[in-house]
């Protein structure tokens, strides 16, 4: 679902970001198109608007960040979406990645544990006329059963291990992409659900904020890792 087009003066910056992503090896045309359409500056605090199209993470309040575009592009490519899927995203944050997903999938359910962030993301998505994203507040490590099963699950935070409820809510053949702790470091992994369980692929290093929840870290004891 393409967002309602809004006239803004950031089109050139978006085009430059798309070129940077392409130069870094992002090849999925649908992913590049989404970055060219979704106005990232609407998902960051007004004082940071001018930095919105740099390939960097930015603070969004409540101690959280909107992730670096190249990191998000890597996640989105790894999901291998055809456009027809029902996708579950854990970690709505600003709602930007959910907006990108809205153009790459049929339906998106996005879960955020911090109510203030969920409320703001919901409002921004509505202002942009994006109507195929459902934002809910809760512990995303438990998944979201009412809309399961999903063809793809994206965990935009780092977990100590793959949360079992998320695998349970994945349809056979579906993909789950998450940052998983590996000692002191993290690895981006893709799990593909099979009849027997799941095939696991390592997609390289990752650096994300911790997933806080029943199948994640304790709020107090989370490793201090920063999203880039």
Q: Name the residues that contact ligand SAM, by CB under 6 A.
A: 64-67, 90-91, 93-94, 96-97, 111-114, 117, 139-141, 156-157, 208-209, 211-213, 216, 227
Options 9, 57, 62, 67, the catalytic residue: 67
Structure tokens that stand for 111 in this block: 């879960």
Q: Which is nearer to ligand SAM, 166 or 191 (CB)?
A: 166
Q: Which is nearer to ligand SAM, 27 or 116 (CB)?
A: 116
Active site residue 57: no
Q: Is 168 left (phi over 0), alpha (psi -120 to 50) or beta?
A: alpha
- Helix (H), strand (E) counts: the chain: 6, 9
- Residue 26 in contact with residue 77, Cβ under 8 Å? yes
Q: Which is nearer to ligand SAM, 39 or 93 (CB)?
A: 93
Least Å from the CB of residue 113 to ligand SAM: 4
Structure tokens that stand for 172 in this block: 């056979």
d(CA 98, CA 108): 7
d(CA 106, CA 101): 9
d(CA 52, CA 204): 26
Least Å from the CB of residue 139 to ligand SAM: 5
Least Å from the CB of residue 205 to ligand SAM: 16
Q: Which is nearer to ligand SAM, 178 or 191 (CB)?
A: 178
- Residues that are catalytic: 67
């Amino acid at each position: 679902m393409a967002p309602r087009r809004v006239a803004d003066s950031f089109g050139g910056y978006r085009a430059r970001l798309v070129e940077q992503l392409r130069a870094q090896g992002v090849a999925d045309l649908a992913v590049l198109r989404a970055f060219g359409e979704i106005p990232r500056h609407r998902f960051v605090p007004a004082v940071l608007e001018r930095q919105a199209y740099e390939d960097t993470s930015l603070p969004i309040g409540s101690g959280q960040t909107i992730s670096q575009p190249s990191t998000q592009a890597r996640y989105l490519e790894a999901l291998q979406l055809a456009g027809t899927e029902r996708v579950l995203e854990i970690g709505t944050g600003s709602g930007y990645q959910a907006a990108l997903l809205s153009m790459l999938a049929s339906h998106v359910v996005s879960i955020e544990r911090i109510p203030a962030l969920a409320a703001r993301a919901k409002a921004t998505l509505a202002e942009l006329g994006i109507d195929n994203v459902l934002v809910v507040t809760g512990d995303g490590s438990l998944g979201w059963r009412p809309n399961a099963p999903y063809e793809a699950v994206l965990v935009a935070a780092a977990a100590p291990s793959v949360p079992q409820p998320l695998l349970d809510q994945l349809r056979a053949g579906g993909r789950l992409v998450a940052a998983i702790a590996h000692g002191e470091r993290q690895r981006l992994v893709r799990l593909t659900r099979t009849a027997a369980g799941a095939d696991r692929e390592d997609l390289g290093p990752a650096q994300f904020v911790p997933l806080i929840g029943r199948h994640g870290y304790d709020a107090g004891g989370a490793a201090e890792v920063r999203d880039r």
